[in-house]
Chains A and B, each alone.
Chain A
Amino acid sequence: MSTTGQRPDPARFLRQTEQQAREQQLEVVRLVNSGDTLLGLALLLPGLSPETVRELLTQANCLLNLPAAPNATANKTALSPKSALLALLQAEIDSHRESKLPCSLLLLDLAGGQTGPKPGHTQCQAISVIETILDHRDRVIPCDREVVAVLMADTSLGKARRRASAIQAALACSHQLLCCGLSVCHAHEPINAQELLQRTRRELDRATAIGNGALCHAALTTIDESCQVTVEERAQLFSFLD
């Protein structure tokens, strides 16, 4: 092995490390700057909780002078296919099962279903804009290349729709609103992260098909209302007492 004192090529070193880590079945998070230059790698041991991963990545970003906000973490580190989003989603669903409050997932298609270069926001720009109007417990995470996911804590359908409208307005380009898919996950629903993402994706596809800044949401969200005993039921129930 050559030890000539030459400075190693950092990019090559990182690529080799990444390859070796993947061979060892470690999850690899690539730490990149806004220009997509690879600055470092985070190698995640199996079994870490999503919260721990998020915290570690935030610290890693700080060390590399990358934007350290937890909301931005997943974006700047280009996590492998949707794993960051799914991990965060699952953690959020679990947390909401504990709190018994609903949470909502919003998907925005920055490309409006089209391919090729378009005017408007890049994913990074969109995330920065969205972060300014979110609640501190909400998270904005990249999903696919042109899709951004917004995970909203403690939001029922009405609240989530209002926040989605605010996001649409903030991201409007030449008065053109982005289409959104929204899904509310109730604490009692037996649903996992993958299913919630798929459900929301279907709503986004529906909205994109409609176009014109449509906001579609999953119909399952009416469960809560359906449990309330109606006036008609009560009246019928007591009719024999009269």
Chain B
Amino acid sequence: MPQQHSGQRAKKICISSGKGGVGKTSFAVNLASSLAGKEKKVLLIDGDLGLANVDVLLGLNVRHTVRENIEEGRDLASLLLKVPAGFHLLPATSGVPEMANLSCEEQNELIRALEAIMDQFDFVLVDTAAGIGDSVLWFNAWADINVIIVSPDPTSLADAYALIKVLVARHKKNAFHLVVNSVTSPQEAQEIFDGLSGVAAKFLRVTSTSLGTLPHDSAVIQAVRSRKPFLLDAPQSKVSLAITQIADKILAL
């Protein structure tokens, strides 16, 4: 377990995108690394409970997962893994459909167990599954800050908007933080942010804030292959500098 932190309750940040392959996990892993590098106590929850891959991007071989808490009642704190990047990880399973479809009771139990360890951290990040499945919605409902990752791909835009719409209608969320990933220019990033936030404001009456943009960078692909955060693998890359700026914005929230 981490040592004592600043004493305040952890901020819960949920990272989603709607569409898969937009860069959620990479963003979550590197944001956790960046915040940890700023002396913050960070827990990253692999919220893709049945098809987890945070451990893959971190080069870990995980033996114990959140499944042991849900199915066997094992203490959640004992399942946390301190990773070399400096934060704690709550790993999930891969290839377990039951974990992707938890019952209400199991969801509530998990949330209760997570709440019990909140005071050990400054930030709790959740890297959710793709789509608008149950776990995506209840993790987002639970979070204080909802981060939506979007890429220039029109299907990514469409899915991000659909996710925002569901969260507004079903969970009364009314503020979102957008991250535009894999852009080739600041102008492209601005257009995408303006487009998505404008439609969300017009039709859903929600506020969207830009948390920043991540440039298209070969360092990302290289880091994924190395199974390391790009922040550690290529700390001077453009994308690493961008994630650091986003971490600074989050610290200021």
**Which residues of A pack against B, CB within 8 Å?**
94, 97-98, 100, 188, 223, 226-227, 229-230, 232-234, 236-241
Contact = CB atoms under 8 A, between A and B. Distances in A.
Contacts of A100: 134
Contact of A227 (B158, B169, B196): B169
Contacts of B166: 227
Interface in B185-208: 191, 194-196, 198-199, 202-203
28 contacts: A94-B104, A97-B104, A98-B103, A98-B104, A100-B134, A188-B137, A223-B170, A226-B169, A227-B170, A229-B158, A229-B161, A229-B162, A230-B203, A232-B203, A233-B165, A236-B198, A236-B199, A236-B202, A237-B157, A237-B158, A237-B196, A237-B199, A238-B154, A238-B158, A239-B195, A240-B195, A241-B154, A241-B195
Given A188-B170, A226-B169, A240 B191 contact: yes
A223 B169 contact: yes
SS of B interface (majority): helix
B188 to A, nearest CB: 10
Contacts of B195: 237-241
B194 A240 contact: yes
Nearest to A240: B195
Contact of B157 (A98, A226, A230, A238): A238
Given A227-B165, A238-B157, A241-B154, A233 B170 contact: no
Contacts of A238: 154, 157-158, 195
Contact of A233 (B137, B154, B169, B203): B203
A230 B165 CA distance: 11
A96 B193 CA distance: 38
B150 to A, nearest CB: 11
A226 B167 CA distance: 12
A226 to B, nearest CB: 5
A97 B154 CA distance: 33
Given A98-B103, A188-B137, A232-B203, 19 more contacts: A97-B104, A100-B134, A188-B170, A223-B169, A226-B169, A227-B165, A227-B169, A227-B170, A229-B158, A229-B161, A229-B162, A229-B165, A233-B199, A234-B158, A236-B199, A236-B203, A237-B196, A237-B199, A238-B195
Contacts of B162: 229
Contacts of A239: 195
The 7 closest A-B pairs by CB, nearest first: A240-B195, A97-B104, A227-B169, A237-B199, A236-B199, A229-B162, A227-B166
A100 B137 CA distance: 13
Contacts of B198: 236
Contacts of B199: 233, 236-237
Contacts of A241: 154, 195
Nearest to A239: B195
Nearest to A188: B170
A145 B191 CA distance: 64
Nearest to B167: A227
A97 B103 CA distance: 8
Nearest to B132: A227
Contacts of A233: 161, 165, 199, 203
A238 B160 CA distance: 13
A180 B154 CA distance: 47
B82 to A, nearest CB: 36
Contacts of B202: 236
